[in-house]
């Protein structure tokens, strides 16, 4: 048999079920579980509010410790948690606490100045009177501004609900 000539390959592909090997398997399983729960959590996008940046059905990883040592900045995409962590909202930060946000003829204004948003591709006709972001909050909006304003979930969210950021 060809594998007999490569004992290392054979041992890798057909390992012997020794206690040490089982311990290694258990350690890898526990590490993977912890890593993919608390560090990189896989998720699938459902819905079109972040299109075209994050299309419906696309697969990504959520980097949970992303904001452990830093604060979300304008333009970054963040994950907002709801009651638990199994369902998250993916949104883009457009304004920080204390800033004033408004939409005029589809253009986003922050502190009275239009914001350049290269990630917004479709046409937009949103109108929203100015409002100030409260302390401890961030203002988040999806990239898909072609959908009617009433159907789009956006607004200010408590900083404590930011769970992390997508890896890409």
| Contact positions vs another protein (CB under 8 A) | 46-47, 80, 82-87, 89, 91, 128, 131, 140, 153-157, 161
Task: Kindly state the smallest distance separating residue 138's Cβ from another protein, in Å.
Answer: 10
Task: Kindly state the smallest distance separating residue 50's Cβ from another protein, in Å.
Answer: 14
Q: Which is nearer to another protein, 6 or 126 (CB)?
A: 126
Q: Which is nearer to another protein, 67 or 154 (CB)?
A: 154
Residue carrying structure tokens 């072609």: 146
CA-nearest of 77, 142, 78, 151 to 108 is: 142
Q: Which is nearer to another protein, 56 or 71 (CB)?
A: 56
Task: Kindly state the smallest distance separating residue 123's Cβ from another protein, in Å.
Answer: 20
Q: In terms of DSSP H, where are the helices of the chain?
A: 7-13, 19-38
**Residue 115 CB burial class (10 angstroms; 0-12, 13-18, ≥19):** middle
């Amino acid at each position: 048999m060809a594998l007999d000539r490569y004992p290392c390959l054979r041992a890798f592909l057909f390992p012997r079920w020794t206690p040490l090997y089982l311990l290694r398997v258990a350690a890898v399983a526990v590490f993977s579980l912890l890593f993919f729960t608390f560090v990189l959590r896989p998720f699938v996008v459902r819905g079109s509010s972040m299109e075209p940046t994050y299309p419906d059905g696309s697969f990504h990883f959520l980097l949970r410790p992303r904001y452990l040592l830093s604060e979300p900045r304008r333009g970054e995409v963040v994950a907002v948690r709801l009651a638990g962590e199994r369902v998250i909202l993916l949104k883009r930060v457009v304004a920080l606490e204390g800033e004033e946000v408004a939409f005029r003829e589809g253009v986003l204004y922050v502190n009275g100045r239009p914001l350049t948003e290269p990630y917004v591709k479709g046409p937009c006709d949103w109108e929203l009177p100015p409002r100030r972001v409260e302390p401890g909050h961030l203002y988040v909006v999806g990239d898909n501004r072609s959908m009617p304003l009433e159907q789009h979930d956006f607004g200010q969210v408590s900083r404590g609900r930011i769970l992390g950021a997508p890896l890409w």
